[in-house]
Amino acid sequence: MTPDPVESLPQHYRVVLENERVRVLEYTDHPGDRTTTHRHPDSVMITLSSFRRTLRAGGTEVDVELPAGTARWLDAQEHSGHNIGDTDTHVVFVELKEPPGPGPRRPPRLGPTD
């Protein structure tokens, strides 16, 4: 199992709220910062600052650029990241603890989606 980002990357992630249904994380980094591979369950990501970063997983690389005040879905995934922009990143993740509902699921995508 890939490490929990709160445990493996405490300089970037902190728990803001946790209960039986969700865990809310705050993430911050600086230009040039990199993260080791870590795992997120299905989550909602809310950007508190604009940012540019590269996400990598299993030979796939995706560049992500989002403005402040954006909410995006994040499929469960393992990835590492690199702040390739010239601004600090400040993001909140609302991680879901409940399993997905019944029925077919589309293949997970790397990075945030609409």
The Cα–Cα gap between 81 and 95 comes to 18
Q: How far is CA 69 from CA 45, 47, 49, 60, 111, in A?
A: 10, 5, 7, 27, 17
Closest CA to 40 of 79, 66, 11: 79
* pTM score above 0.95: no
Residues 59-77 pLDDT 10s: 999 999 999 999 999 999 9
Closest CA to 95 of 69, 76, 71, 111: 76
DSSP 5: H
Residues 7-45 pLDDT 10s: 999 999 999 999 999 999 999 999 999 999 999 999 999
Give the mean pLDDT of 71-90. Answer: 96
